[in-house]
Amino acid sequence: MSLPMVKQVIDAYFEILDEEKSERADIQFFGGEPFYSPEVVYFSVVYARRKAEERAMDIHFEVTTNGIFSADVAAWVADHFDAVILSLDGPMDIQESQRPARNGKPVFPIVYNNAKIISSGSADLILRSCISQKTARRIMEITAWIVEEFHPKAVCFESVHPTGQSKKAGLFPPGPVEFARQFHASARILEAHGIAAVHSTTDVSICRTTICPVGRNALIISPDGAVDACYLPEKAWRDAGLEFRLGKVRAGKFDINENVLQGIRRLANGDKPSCVNCLCRYHCAGGCHVRQNGNRSIGRYDNTCMQTRLVTITNLLRRLNENDLATEWLTDEAAMARFACQSSDHISEMA
Amino acid sequence: MNDESQLRQTTPSVRLHTTRNLYWVRDANFTLVIEEEKDVTKRLEGDAAALWGWLSMGLSLSQCVRLLSAMNNMPSAEAASEINQHLRAWQEAGLLEDGSQTQ
């Protein structure tokens, strides 16, 4: 994205905030990797903060990054951002096998060092560990390592999303049962250290109608000035038959298609057909609109849904302080399988 | 005169670096720079704070010129001149030293 485009986008955003008499601005950087265009980040943060200052407005900056940058940049990030979501899958062997650098050189030492720097700064550090079949059994080891090495606000465990590239690299999603068991045990360790354990679709502390920016009126701006509702590549949502192109940045303003916007709001607020009998829908909100086809028949769950169902149950039990019950249930594979596949959670329909 | 010709160097290069006992802390709207030994404290705001942040990351002068120029809608030569003024002020305040004199 060019600097003039960045400026147009930020100006247009503040114009909306002014119209809405908003007292807070939120700017998030993600990609790809935002620091592949570092000047865009360096410029945006200073320029937007200046605009917020002029209005005595709070501003919140968040970045999702692979952490591959210099220690000086890490210190700047720690000072200038409120939240940093850093992809760190685990100790060296895990990180290097799941996220090898294109040039074959080890990147773990860089990411580790930068995580340390950010961890000691004022920004909230959120570590995001991508879990594959190979690493599912090591979630507790990953957790213990993180607790020992860093001071994150939260640790987010997410399953590998299968793509052509991940399959080629031998990375497949973990089994739902193994993941649920390991997540529960890890969450207990993290929570004992005051660190939140996050799994994006199973946050039982809130009820949601969407788990992502779609439907939240977020404006996701691409380098060419396209304004989308979803951060996935255009091809991904188009292939899923969805229209997430909200409009374009034109002459310093967001030119938004109202019909598309309303359609997206309706999509995010409606139950997916396969979710109507599932108790998790209040928290997972049907998951990703693009990747999870909610138009399956009622009560038919894929592996992602099953994982969500199992983790949701253990999260609910933990929230009720029923840790022993959760642990006991997690040892009963038959019970877990039964619940994971149960087509309806309505009490009246349970056997 | 276009920006390129305005940026042509007319004086010798000077390598500036921070002094040994220099610390800085970033707050929401300003950066506080402290030279412990000389007992100098400087509060940087606006362009000065932005420039300090960019330089502390190792950005080159030309990158800083580009960023400041875009920030303030000013020609590159003007941005370069403003940057030089800040650098001179920091040097005079004892926050920066001429690298050639301390090697």
Q: State how far the Cα of A185 lies from the Cα of A180, in Å rounded to an integer.
A: 9
Mean pLDDT score across all residues of chain A: 91
Look up residue B20 and give its two tokens.
């040994």
Q: How confident is the model at residue B103 (pLDDT cuts 50, 70, 90)?
A: very low
Report the pLDDT value the prediction gives residue A12, as an integer from 0 to 100: 95
Residues of A in contact with B60 (CB under 8 A): none
pLDDT tens by residue, A45-84: 999 999 999 999 999 999 999 999 999 999 999 999 999 9
Residues of A in contact with B71 (CB under 8 A): 43, 46-47, 50
Interval B7-20 mean pLDDT: 71
Domain boundaries, chain A: 3-198
Report the pLDDT value the prediction gives residue A346, as an integer from 0 to 100: 87
Whether A300 has a pLDDT exceeding 80, the answer reads: no
Three-class SS state of A26: strand
- Fold annotation for A3-198: TIM Barrel (3.20.20)
Nearest chain B residue to A53, by CA:
B29
Residue B21: how many other CB atoms lie within 10 Å? 12
Whether B102 has a pLDDT exceeding 70, the answer reads: no
Nearest Cβ partner for B70 among A4, A50, A75: A4
Q: How confident is the model at residue B20 (pLDDT cuts 50, 70, 90)?
A: confident
Report the pLDDT value the prediction gives residue B11, as an integer from 0 to 100: 61
Domain boundaries, chain B: 18-94
List residues in chain B touching A: CB distance below 8 A: 26, 29, 46, 50, 53-54, 56-59, 63, 66-67, 70-71
Q: How confident is the model at residue B6 (pLDDT cuts 50, 70, 90)?
A: low
Residues of B in contact with A53 (CB under 8 A): 29
List residues in chain A touching B: CB distance below 8 A: 3-4, 7, 39, 42-43, 46-47, 49-50, 53, 70, 72-73, 75-76, 79-80, 122
Nearest Cβ partner for A72 among B46, B56, B63: B56
By 3-state DSSP, what share of chain B in percent is helix, strand and coil, each rounded to 5? 45, 20, 35
Report the pLDDT value the prediction gives residue B1, as an integer from 0 to 100: 40
Interval A318-336 mean pLDDT: 93
Q: State how far the Cα of B92 lies from the Cα of B86, in Å rounded to an integer.
A: 10
Of A159-173, A189-203, A290-304, the range with the lowest mean pLDDT is: A290-304
Q: State how far the Cα of B97 lies from the Cα of A169, in Å rounded to an integer.
A: 51
Mean pLDDT score across all residues of chain B: 86
Contact A16, A4 (CB under 8 A): no
Look up residue A162 and give its two tokens.
């299968």
Nearest Cβ partner for B54 among A3, A42, A122: A42
Q: Are A3 and B58 within 8 A, CB to CB?
A: no
pLDDT tens by residue, A225-256: 999 999 999 999 999 899 999 999 998 899 99
Report the pLDDT value the prediction gives residue A158, as an integer from 0 to 100: 94
Residues of B in contact with A80 (CB under 8 A): 26, 53
What is the secondary structure of A249-291 as a DSSP string? EETTEEEE-HHHHHHHHHHHHSPPGGGTT-TTHHHHTTS-TTT
Nearest chain B residue to A78, by CA:
B26
Three-class SS string for A72-94? HHHHHHHHHCCEEEEECCCCHHH
A157: CB partners within 8 A, 6+ apart: A129, A131, A139, A179, A183, A186, A197, A198, A199
Report the pLDDT value the prediction gives residue B10, as an integer from 0 to 100: 60
Interval A182-206 mean pLDDT: 94
Report the pLDDT value the prediction gives residue A45, as an integer from 0 to 100: 96
pLDDT tens by residue, A78-91: 999 999 999 999 99
Whether A323 has a pLDDT exceeding 50, the answer reads: yes
Q: Which of A3, A7, A9, A42 to mutate to test the interface with B (most CBs of B within 10 A)?
A: A42
Architecture of domain B18-94: Orthogonal Bundle (1.10)
Residues of A in contact with B26 (CB under 8 A): 79-80, 122
Strand partners, B44: B31
Q: Give A210 or A88, the one with higher predicted confidence.
A: A88
Residue A125: how many other CB atoms lie within 10 Å? 24
Of A28-32, A50-54, B30-34, the range with the lowest mean pLDDT is: A28-32
Q: Are A46 and B29 within 8 A, CB to CB?
A: no
CA B7 to chain A, closest CA, distance in angstroms equals: 20
Report the pLDDT value the prediction gives residue A291, as an integer from 0 to 100: 84
Residues of B in contact with A24 (CB under 8 A): none
Strand partners, A155: A127, A197
Q: Are B57 and A42 within 8 A, CB to CB?
A: yes
Contact B67, B54 (CB under 8 A): yes
Strand partners, B26: B31
